[in-house]
Structure 1
Amino acid sequence: MPEKKTTARAKRAKREGKSPSTQAGAYVHEEIEHVREGKHGAKSTKQAIAIGLSKARRAGVKVGTPKKASASTRRKAKQDSAKGKQGSAAKKTSQTRSRATKRALKKAPTRAASSSALSRQAQSAAKKRTAASRSTAAKKAARTKGAAGRSAAAKKAARTRKRAA
């Protein structure tokens, strides 16, 4: 069950017209925090992200099903989306299953949510995208950021360049 502040953050993103992946980001962020706090672990950074996306779909965020994934992953994503459309009237997960999931995740390591692991994951994900795709995303980000946001980003970039020099 996601925390209230996470759901509120996702709803605000939706109101602001942000993309479903941005809305889902709130749930992914929450999951990363849970792993860092030691509430449970994750075998890999990808697993932590997948759990967050699953929570987002179940909360009603319209995140698409992955195209380059196994049949079972696509089926699970479809099932989560259906649960999200259904609302809260659905049947609760059995205690036995819930406990088993929790115990399995408790045994997993927490290093999957370290900053270096997240950085590696982000870089490997970016490598799979084309230069044109990354460029388009960067242009859109600059366009939708607004004047104050652009100014802050420019100042931050200048500080980073100064520190690197």
Structure 2
Amino acid sequence: MARPQKKKWSHEVTENSDALDLENGVFKSQDPKTIADSLKHSAEASDRRKSSPFRSAMSMLNFYINRAGSHLSKRQRETLEAAKDELRKDFGREPK
């Protein structure tokens, strides 16, 4: 008898983060600015986050990149990395 496939804990965190209510499919966008703007909005709107909006948004973005790992295409990884710079700009911080 085959075991039912369980969702990974990382999928659960992304879907039901205790700190941010993410827009559905936010990480699938091909536009770094759209991703950054959505994360910024989610972080600023949340009253459950434990740190600053910038740190919460950046943490969620890094979490997604790290958990997706080798399953990300080169193009999508580049888009998400560019979203980090856009997020820094949105919060008035210098991009790396």
Q: Is TM more than 0.5 here?
A: no
Higher RCO structure, 1 or 2 (CA under 8 Å, sep 6+)? 2
Higher helix share: 1
Which TM-score band (shorter chain)? 0.3 to 0.5
Query: Over alpha carbons, which structure has the higher Rg?
Result: 1
TM-score, reference length from structure 2: 0.37
